[in-house]
Structure 1
């Protein structure tokens, strides 16, 4: 007899769930769970469907709603659902998925209806099937497998299982995980395991343990407007702003530090959004504004970058006779989970057992909800086996990977 009968039962159950993955994806995609910022009415119908799947008579899970008020949606709330099943030990494996999706974009850019899942072999196509429904469905598969095993007389797993289904991830998390942590933070313990299946690599080898600072700079240039036929009467803020763009792009020279954990291994400084300028072609613009997206290594401080940007643009201001101000438009602090955290080792062992690859810790420049957990002192990692088609036309996910990821979580849950 196997030394891990519960794990064996979970894996056998998961091996039979290919059609279940397709059916769940079809049901969830049809809800069009868009937040109000994206022209939708929120996630409540989708969240209620998830609650029906997890609850009901005989369910071993305790369900708790932690909804955030939001007058912009018809039901007045953004849903956050927490499901928990105690284990034999005090610690819990927590898995997190968001229920909202992004708009599909023009229908013409899709091969088929983005809100009606299309299957081609192992792949399912539709908006949200990867972001974040692959992780979400993996969580539901594990919950169903665990319920079936317990109904058949299996003992509870060593770790408890906690499932968090969040709203508002695509538009800032204020109504989602941030609200959950504010209202139900007592549920989450520093020695629990935290996995966010919302980013990853096609082979499953990347375990995200760190994120860079996210810093957005706003650079405003003030000159003097005049008629374009008399440029000597004004000061062209657009031209000076263009020089400021190049100056800010040069911030890479001021911060040459590298860290091999990240890809790219350096801080990045990318001028992006542009505002201001003249309303007519025959007006010399007196105002200009642009933004710089900065992704900073954890040991590069936002304050030092702001000071360097101000020094660089001050030189531009002197050369062009304009006034330039630089301020912070948005900042999210860097976050790091130590590479020797128990969750990192447990996940690496599970990935090797299921996928036969060696998992390695990585850092990213993007921002995930793991940062919110890390700021609470909770050792979160971000992992999944993803094809990375999120937010694209013809977004798709793998049925095999959805099942495989559930198996990885089963291994961690059983600590095998």
Structure 2
């Protein structure tokens, strides 16, 4: 290494307390998307920007996405850069600013918007998802900036908007409008998923297909089904046929849990308001998570087949809408970022890493589809979106040191 790594390590260990204070600041500013009844991330980003400047991280640049739905008129995407000795590639730590709603308030033991530190943990909405990863990146950056150490490679911190409801104004906006900010050889780390040991490196995601089915029959009195066309019967049949697509797309991949593709009927809309009414309309949704080896077009073709079969069998008309569709490629385990993070985890965490795939979606999917290698990794108990969400303080420091190790190589 080109620097005294013990010096970096000592700084991180001795200054983790400042990240607790940053966590408290960020938690106190709810950053909810308009879809969740919020005003976006501008106030939170402004507070973070002020904090970074006051702590010596001054090379900042905005890539804001216009959004007329929020008071600021835009959704902030902020990049902080700590220049390195070499220009061969940059190491990115990409964290999102937005959070999800608190849910049922009575389930919380503390005020979710006032972070509380207790027993080595910080409790509050957003403290883990995704402020823990954000703070690890910031702490790694400060270990260089505050000690006037130039890292071997440039470190870039991306603080992005809109991850929780689709990334249209966050990562996807950057890929579509500012793709060149990412170099071909850059190492991109997304600290937004992991395990308690920091052992799993996520390199692949199942493709996502969310479908909304509207079944149209004919309403009738409950005593005269012969005069109607029961949309609920057709809907039930269709839900089972969609679920049975698991038997067709039946490959298994042990990298994922579960190891198969899944086709799950989920949300059911209200149809009629009385027990004695034959429903003429029925609407339900399905959440399909498909192994990367299958294309979404293959799935769409089979869904259309079961729709036609249901229409013919029950005399209904069916409309289908895609609420979300994300085809996901994988990052090779032989990629630079995968191999270098693997080495860093072994040396800093003292555990043997392993590569995994997940069923959920992250911003890594958009990057991979754009031909940009990315990995998702962090050390966390995975309390995202739950009441009494917490982050373990030591994990912030441990992951910061892992990031610093990569930057120093």
TM interval, short-chain normalised: over 0.9
Could you tell me how far 1:282 is from its partner in structure 2?
2.8
Residue equivalent to 1:49: 47
Residues 1:358 and 2:355 are matched in the alignment = no
TM-score (structure 1 length as normaliser): 0.94
Residues 1:19 and 2:35 are matched in the alignment = no
1:264 to 244, 258, 266: 258
Could you tell me how far 1:376 is from its partner in structure 2?
2.2
Corresponding residue SS for 1:37: helix
Could you tell me how far 1:272 is from its partner in structure 2?
0.9
1:80 to 49, 58, 77: 77
Moved more, 346-355 or 66-75: 66-75
Could you tell me how far 1:247 is from its partner in structure 2?
1.4
Moved more, 251-260 or 308-317: 308-317
Corresponding residue SS for 1:410: helix
Write out aligned runs for 1:12-411 (5 A).
12-55=10-53, 59=56, 61-90=58-87, 91-150=89-148, 154=149, 156-275=150-269, 277-326=271-320, 328-411=322-405
Corresponding residue SS for 1:191: coil
8 Å CA contact 1:213–1:296 kept in 2: the answer is yes
Moved more, 130-139 or 213-222: 213-222
8 Å CA contact 1:225–1:236 kept in 2: the answer is yes
Could you tell me how far 1:56 is from its partner in structure 2?
5.1
1:183 & 1:309 partners in 2: Cα distance?
Answer: 33
TM-score (structure 2 length as normaliser): 0.95
1:211 & 1:197 partners in 2: Cα distance?
Answer: 15
Task: Give the direction of change, closer, same or farther, for the CA distance of 1:61–1:8 in structure 2 (3 Å limit).
Answer: farther
Aligned length: 408
8 Å CA contact 1:70–1:77 kept in 2: the answer is yes
8 Å CA contact 2:191–2:376 kept in 1: the answer is yes
1:78 & 1:326 partners in 2: Cα distance?
Answer: 31
8 Å CA contact 2:94–2:191 kept in 1: the answer is yes
Could you tell me how far 1:395 is from its partner in structure 2?
0.3
- Could you give the per-residue CA deviations for residues 56-114 of structure 1, whole angstroms, max 9, x where no partner exists? 59x46421011122222222221111111221111100110111111112221101111
Instruction: List, as ranges, runs of 4+ consecutive aligned residues in structure 1 with deviation greater than 6 Å.
Output: none
- Could you give the per-residue CA deviations for residues 186-223 of structure 1, whole angstroms, max 9, x where no partner exists? 22111010000001111111101111111122333222
Could you tell me how far 1:172 is from its partner in structure 2?
1.4
Task: Give the direction of change, closer, same or farther, for the CA distance of 1:336–1:355 in structure 2 (3 Å limit).
Answer: same
Corresponding residue SS for 1:135: helix
8 Å CA contact 1:236–1:285 kept in 2: the answer is yes
1:215 & 1:183 partners in 2: Cα distance?
Answer: 25
1:284 & 1:88 partners in 2: Cα distance?
Answer: 72
8 Å CA contact 1:254–1:308 kept in 2: the answer is no
Could you tell me how far 1:137 is from its partner in structure 2?
0.8
Moved more, 136-145 or 380-389: 136-145
Corresponding residue SS for 1:384: coil
2:383 & 2:318 partners in 1: Cα distance?
Answer: 39
Corresponding residue SS for 1:208: strand
Corresponding residue SS for 2:147: helix
2:320 & 2:51 partners in 1: Cα distance?
Answer: 51
2:263 & 2:384 partners in 1: Cα distance?
Answer: 24
Task: Give the direction of change, closer, same or farther, for the CA distance of 1:250–1:136 in structure 2 (3 Å limit).
Answer: same
8 Å CA contact 2:77–2:170 kept in 1: the answer is yes
8 Å CA contact 1:100–1:170 kept in 2: the answer is yes
1:55 & 1:375 partners in 2: Cα distance?
Answer: 34
> Where do 5+ consecutive residues of structure 1 fail to align?
none
